[in-house]
Structures are given as C-alpha cells and as structure tokens.
Amino acid sequence: MVTRRRGLWAAATLGSLALLGCFDKITAPTCLAQSFTVTDTLSDTLVTSRGLRYIEVTAGTGAPLPWCTQVTVDYDAYLLDSTKFDSSRDRGVPLHFVPGVGDLIDGFEQGVIGMQTTGKRRLIIPPTLGYGSQPVRDQNGTIIVPANSTVVFDIQVIAIGQ
C-alpha cells in the first residue's frame, strides 16, 4: 500500500503528459516484524508465546510467508459458538494485506506467518490479539463480535508476494 501525500497532476497536451507541480516523497507504511515462538502443543493445536493458538490444516507449497510481504488470503470468521460473522469467501473478494503493517488484528497478521501458498490454518485468537474490550458492530450498529471475544478464523493462502 503506497500513499501519496500531495501533488498536482497536469492534463495531456498534444499527446504528451506534462507535470505542472512537484511531489513530496512517496512513502509506504512502516512494517514491523513481531517475534514469537511456538511454546506449547496441545494435541493438534500450537500455542505461541503471544497467546495465539492455531491448527495447521494443510501445509501448502513453496516458501513460507515472512513478515512484511504481501499475501492474499480467503477466510471465514467465527465466534466460539460457531456463529459466522465475516467471510471473504462469501463476498467473493479475497483479502490482500502485508503482515506487520498493522492494518488487521494482531492475531490474524501473526497467524499467517510461516504459511505457504494453498496452505490452510485455523487461528484461535484471544481478545488481546483480536478485537479487545470493544464490541465490533456491523453497518447497522448490530454487535457482531461481543467485547472480549475469542474469535476463530479459517484461512487459506491464495498467493504470496503478488
């Protein structure tokens, strides 16, 4: 994701494009890798040092995803009672993001690290790495994720670095 702070574009004149102004430096958001390790294994569930739990469903192929690299995923999101509250699959629009930029909840960004293309994981995200003490509301104001909820995301990596 690149942002342009200010500038002025000119219109084309006789088939050539003229630039009438100057531009400030184009900047990208800062990306910070966060360290964590797998500290425990409970049956098929891995637990990280930051409190994320995940289940490796399918390993995938290719190089593992590092921090600060664009990734495209599909996901379904659930409350612990199996209520689905969000889905890129249902919308038919995959999610593109860069883990480490901070655009998403910490547990989701952390949860894709090390995944491979076509890989599948189930992330079990505690409130401290998820939505925290504030409820999440839909566009109508209805609460879709209650405060202090642990949430579950079933994710699949579609592409890395594209």
Could you report the per-residue pLDDT of 10-69, keeping only the tens digit for each? 333 334 444 445 566 677 789 999 899 989 888 999 999 999 999 999 999 999 999 999
CB 20 within 8 A of CB 11: no
* Mean of pLDDT values over 124-149: 97
Backbone angles phi, psi at 131, to 5 degrees: -95, -5
pLDDT tens, position by position, 93-123: 999 999 999 999 999 999 999 999 999 999 9
Q: How far apart are CA 63 and CA 43, in angstroms?
A: 26
Classify strands 12-13 and 38-42 as parallel, antiparallel or unpaired: unpaired
Q: Are 145 and 132 in contact (CB under 8 A)?
A: no
The model's pTM is 0.81
Whether the pLDDT of residue 129 is over 60: the answer is: yes
CATH of 31-160, one of 3.40.50.11540, 3.40.50.300, 3.10.50.40, 3.10.129.10: 3.10.50.40
**CA separation for the pair 99, 149 (Å, rounded):** 22
pLDDT of residue 17: 42
- What does the buried/exposed string (b/e) look like for 94-120 if buried means 16 or more CB atoms within 10 Å of the residue's CB? bbebbbbbeeebbbbbbbbbebebebb
Is the predicted pLDDT of residue 1 greater than 50, yes or no?
no
Task: Say how far apart CA 74 and CA 115 lie, in whole Å.
Answer: 13
Greater confidence (138 vs 26) lies with 138
